[in-house]
Amino acid sequence: MKVKGSQVVTEVLLDHGVDIIFGYPGGTAINIYDELYRYKDRIKHVLTADEAGASHAADGYARATGKTGVVFATSGPGATNLVTGLATAFMDSVPMVAITINVQDYLIGSDAFQEICITGVTLPITKHNYFVNDVNDLEGVLREAFLIANSGRKGPVLVDITKDVTEAFVEYSSKSPYPLRKNPEPKADDVETIVKLINHAERPVVYIGQGAVSSEAAAEVRELIEKADIPAVHTLMAAGVIRFDDPHNLGMIGMHGTVAANRAVDKADLVIALGGRFSDRVALNPKKWAQKAKIVQVDIDRSEINKNVKVDCAARCDIKDFLIAALPLVEEKKRTEWNKTVSEWKAKEFVSNVKDAKLHPHEIIKVICDNTDDETIFVTDVGQHQMWAAQFIEHKKPRKFITSGGLGTMGFGYGAAIGAQMAFPENRVIHITGDGSFHMNMNEACTAVTQELPIITVIMDNRTLGMVYQWQTLLYDRRYSNTKADRATDFVKVAEGFGAKGFKAETPEELETAFKEALKEKGPSWIVCSIEREERVLPMIPGGKTVDEIIVD
């Protein structure tokens, strides 16, 4: 069957089971959008406020489902608006395919209207990218894009197609997707060596990273922890792999991790890294991190092994494959003494540094958790609220806490929440943000209203860029350069202006009432929670320091 290039795009999407895409039309993309008009019964296109929102939505969709997120943009500014979204997905290894349409091939290189070399721009922030100016290459490239995005360590792939290709004709027939590249098998020697270390360890700690989420290995990780009675710590990205109330769970590790998690790694004689990359927010001082321990690392990406921290033994394979091979060999035993020691380091109760505040961040999270179920998806922006959310949410399952880790993208949250809600219309999606981040992406309220998405946005409003403010307080002698935003935004009015519902809360009781009201809404609602500017994210280990220098109050 001879079809147009634009139809090759829609057909390949269908072949890959893609039924939701996010994007924004434009002059060069018009042929593709004409095709989407014909395919509207089979492919739902979500129009966002801008392409940045679309890219975060595709990302949020991918994180929530484990499937590939797809985003469309036109040439020039449409394409450059994807940059932050692609970089966010790249840093957090999220499978995404971005399709941009460039000017006609005969105009390429002439500084034509809305022409930009987006493959050049996105070279360092995509797993791979393609420029297609021959319709005969289009199908193969698109199929490869899905293959690359999902093989091994996942990531975003961009395909830039010239407009003339979208209107040229080519032979096409439907096929199933290319099989993904086979992951390397866990080597028996590596498994044996690592299991031996585990079996002999007296003070082991499991360090869980996002690789455990990507490989869908939560059940196996939990089994390892149970069977060998090993305390576990997790990164920001791996929240939910083990339940918040699992007695082995010491919580998040790193800069704003718990004392127990950081200390356990410091005192351990073996650290078992499962899909974590020892980032500078985890191993704040890589030379002094887990010094008493042997470190073993399991990772799908060879280049992560020995990158930040030198390890004693490594297995380059998928986390789940590794655990399936290792678990039968792991000795079932009790490590009562060690577990008792680490659990004594757990904080009994959280105490805020602002004692007399009417509404504390941890109380906000508590109200949210008390009024939502196990299937709720929490999405955050970046900053203090993100850390409070990570610390206080009662994480129960993987893929239920969606946050920008590696890139730390303020303005990620609302788009990502839209993506997650589109993926799971039946689940509750809670978007937790701060006034700083929300000013970067609140325009996506228009999308949530149009699509009737009942996303509840909880804004922790301290009228401050709180995270930087906190650093200025603790490390820069209170020189508050450009962090006291003091904006006059009335979020309730803005919400109403967008056609959403707005609530205000100044106490936990008011929040509970507002939240219950918001739960009844069919469309999006915002709840503005006033908090104190002086609230800090604690504990905190400043960059480059160790658990010995942890700030707790």
* Residue 540 is a binding residue for other proteins (CB under 8 A): no
* Residue 123 is a binding residue for other proteins (CB under 8 A): yes
Q: Is 51 a catalytic residue?
A: yes
User: Which residue in 127, 163, 267, 294 is the catalytic one?
Assistant: 163
Q: Is 114 a catalytic residue?
A: yes
- Rounded CA-CA distance 126/73 in Å is 16
Judged by CB, which is closer to other proteins: 149, or 319? 149
- Rounded CA-CA distance 361/383 in Å is 13
Please, are residues 195 and 329 in contact by the beta-carbon 8 Å criterion? yes
* Residue 306 is a binding residue for other proteins (CB under 8 A): yes
Judged by CB, which is closer to other proteins: 66, or 286? 286
User: Which residue in 67, 114, 144, 545 is the catalytic one?
Assistant: 114
Cα separation values, 70 from 43, 398, 407, Å: 11, 22, 20
* Residue 89 is a binding residue for other proteins (CB under 8 A): no
Judged by CB, which is closer to other proteins: 127, or 234? 127
- Facing residues of 3 across strands? 170
Other CB atoms within 10 Å distance of the CB of residue 55: 33
Cα separation values, 180 from 59, 149, 156, 170, Å: 20, 10, 15, 25
User: Which residue in 7, 11, 35, 51 is the catalytic one?
Assistant: 51
* Residue 291 is a binding residue for other proteins (CB under 8 A): no
Residue range at the interface with other proteins (CB under 8 A); choices 53-61, 126-134, 214-222, 317-325: 126-134
- Rounded CA-CA distance 266/264 in Å is 5
Q: Is 460 a catalytic residue?
A: no
Residue range at the interface with other proteins (CB under 8 A); choices 122-130, 337-345, 468-476, 536-544: 122-130
Judged by CB, which is closer to other proteins: 131, or 322? 131
Q: Is 467 a catalytic residue?
A: yes
Please, are residues 432 and 460 in contact by the beta-carbon 8 Å criterion? yes
Smallest gap from Cβ 127 to other proteins, in A, equals: 8
Smallest gap from Cβ 68 to other proteins, in A, equals: 17
Smallest gap from Cβ 168 to other proteins, in A, equals: 20
User: Which residue in 255, 440, 460, 467 is the catalytic one?
Assistant: 467
Smallest gap from Cβ 307 to other proteins, in A, equals: 6
Smallest gap from Cβ 102 to other proteins, in A, equals: 14
Q: Is 113 a catalytic residue?
A: yes
* Residue 124 is a binding residue for other proteins (CB under 8 A): yes
* Residue 310 is a binding residue for other proteins (CB under 8 A): yes
Dump the DSSP string for 302-335: GGGTTSSS--SEEEES-HHHHHHHHGGGS-----
User: Residues binding other proteins: what is the number (CB under 8 A)?
Assistant: 15
Cite the DSSP H helix spans in 327-383.
336-344, 361-370
What spatial distance separates the first Cα and last Cα of the chain, rounded to whole Å? 69
Other CB atoms within 10 Å distance of the CB of residue 480: 14
Judged by CB, which is closer to other proteins: 302, or 493? 302
- Rounded CA-CA distance 319/40 in Å is 39
User: From residue 90 to residue 119, what is the string marking binding to other proteins with x (rule CB under 8 A)?
Assistant: -----------------------------x
Smallest gap from Cβ 148 to other proteins, in A, equals: 6
**Of 40, 42, 175, 302, which lies in the binding site for other proteins, with binding defined by CB under 8 A?**
302
Helix (H, G, I), strand (E, B) or coil at 230: coil
* Residue 120 is a binding residue for other proteins (CB under 8 A): yes
* Residue 301 is a binding residue for other proteins (CB under 8 A): yes
Amino acid at 131: F
User: Which residue in 40, 113, 333, 496 is the catalytic one?
Assistant: 113
* Torsion sign across C-alpha atoms 79, 84, 88, 90: positive
Query: Look-up: residue for tokens 């890139």?
Result: 407
Helix (H, G, I), strand (E, B) or coil at 198: helix
- Rounded CA-CA distance 140/296 in Å is 39
* Torsion sign across C-alpha atoms 437, 439, 444, 446: positive
Amino acid at 154: K
Catalytic residues: 51, 113-114, 163, 467
Q: Which residues bind other proteins (CB under 8 A)?
A: 119-120, 123-124, 127-128, 131, 148, 301-303, 305-307, 310
